[in-house]
């Protein structure tokens, strides 16, 4: 029946559906989880990013007939079921293949001064961007660059650059999988030369803020952490670089990731 299609195996259960008929949070089972879901849904705008959503309770007699949600849940059941797409804070959390550039060092395009060429890694999982999941769907060799912390580790640090410098905004840009190495993708990112920015690259050596063109983002960055929390997944953002350190003070970090 449709209850199990949505990954709901008991009553009472509930799902939070937004005004676009997209699942806005992981299904809740039991009175405690449902109470928390209702509390978040009813919080005033500005205090919660899940405000003004429609709450649909699933029971043996009332099942939401939402085509997009049904298609999204097809073939996934059980307590560990989570949505493949969630609209959150003006953007989308999507579970699919994507390009990740948060540590990428980039170079100017030989044909367009407004474009920077960044070599990023190909990942599969949840990532956040402002294009819809349908727009970001991989097609052939084409991927879209979005943000996640999927490729970070305990050595990864967030380096903030305050000096005026050029950096690459790779969020939501088109990329092409490298035919010689399908674990990497080449992305055409936007060149930016104003404002403070942060990157997962550089290993805390701030001299590289001006000597390297990093794929980066502006503070406070994209709401990836909060979006993941909305579906019951916890992620930890990399710690900020210690003051007065350079690349010799930290162990080498893993390669690859994608930001703005």
d(CA 135, CA 10): 34
User: Is 23 in the same domain as 121?
Assistant: no
Residues 138 and 238 in one domain: yes
Average pLDDT, the chain: 78
Does any domain span residue 229?
yes
| Predicted pLDDT at 166 | 95
CA–CA dist 236, 64 (Å, integer): 34
Domain span at residue 179 reads 92-249
Instruction: State whether 120 and 243 are in the same domain.
Output: yes
Strand order in the sheet with 157-161: 197-199, 157-161, 239-240
**Tens digits of per-residue pLDDT, 170-213?**
999 999 999 999 999 999 999 999 889 999 999 999 999 999 99
Cis ω before 220 (30° cut-off from 0): yes
Give residue 14's pLDDT.
77
In this predicted structure, the answer to whether residue 26 has a pLDDT above a threshold of 70 is no
Clarify whether residues 78 and 44 are in a common domain: yes
User: Alpha carbon of 201 to those of 17, 56, 160, 174, 238: distances in Å?
Assistant: 37, 43, 10, 21, 11
- Domain assignment present for residue 143? The answer is yes
Q: Which of 6-20, 28-42, 67-81 is predicted most confidently?
A: 28-42
Distance CA 206, CA 242 (A): 11
Average pLDDT over residues 214-237: 92
Given 64, 83, 102, the domain boundary residue is 83
Instruction: Report yes or no on 186 lying in a domain.
Output: yes
Residue 256 has pLDDT above 50, yes or no: no
pLDDT of residue 95: 97
Rounded CA separation 3/74 (Å): 11
Mean pLDDT of 33-54: 56
Under DSSP, is residue 91 helix (H, G, I), strand (E, B) or coil?
Answer: strand
On the question of pLDDT at 39 being above 50, the answer is yes
Which token pair is 38? 């209702």
Indicate the range of 101-105, 148-152, 160-164 predicted with least confidence.
160-164
* Last-in-domain residue among 65, 83, 101: 83
Q: What is the pLDDT of residue 68?
A: 37
**Is residue 255 assigned to a domain?**
no
Whether the per-residue pLDDT at 74 is higher than 50: the answer is no
Q: How many domains does the chain have?
A: 2
Q: Which residue has the higher pLDDT, 217 or 32?
A: 217
Instruction: Tell me the β-bridge partners of 123.
Output: 98
């Amino acid at each position: 029946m449709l209850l199990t299609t949505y990954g709901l195996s008991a009553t009472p259960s509930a799902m939070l559906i937004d005004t676009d008929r997209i699942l806005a949070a992981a299904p809740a089972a039991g009175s405690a989880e449902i109470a928390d879901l209702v509390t978040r849904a009813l919080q005033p705008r500005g205090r919660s990013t899940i405000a003004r959503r429609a709450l649909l309770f699933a029971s043996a007699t009332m099942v939401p007939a939402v085509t997009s949600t049904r298609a999204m849940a097809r073939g996934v059941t059980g307590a560990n079921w989570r949505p493949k797409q969630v609209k959150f804070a003006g953007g989308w959390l999507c579970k699919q293949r994507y390009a990740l550039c948060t540590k990428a060092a980039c170079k100017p395009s030989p044909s367009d001064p407004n474009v920077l060429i960044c070599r990023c890694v190909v990942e599969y999982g949840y990532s956040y961007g402002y294009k819809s999941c349908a727009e970001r769907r991989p097609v052939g060799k084409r991927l879209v660059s979005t943000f996640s912390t999927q490729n970070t580790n305990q050595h990864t640090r967030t380096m903030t650059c305050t000096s005026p410098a050029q950096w690459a905004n790779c969020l939501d840009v088109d990329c092409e999988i490298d035919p010689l190495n399908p674990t990497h993708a080449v992305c055409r990112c936007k060149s930016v030369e104003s404002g403070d920015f942060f990157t997962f690259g550089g290993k805390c050596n701030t001299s590289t803020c001006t000597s390297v063109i990093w794929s980066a983002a502006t503070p406070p960055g994209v709401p990836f952490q909060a979006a993941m929390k909305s579906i019951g997944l916890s992620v930890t953002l990399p710690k900020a670089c210690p003051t007065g350190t350079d690349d010799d003070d930290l162990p080498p970090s893993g390669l690859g990731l994608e930001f703005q």
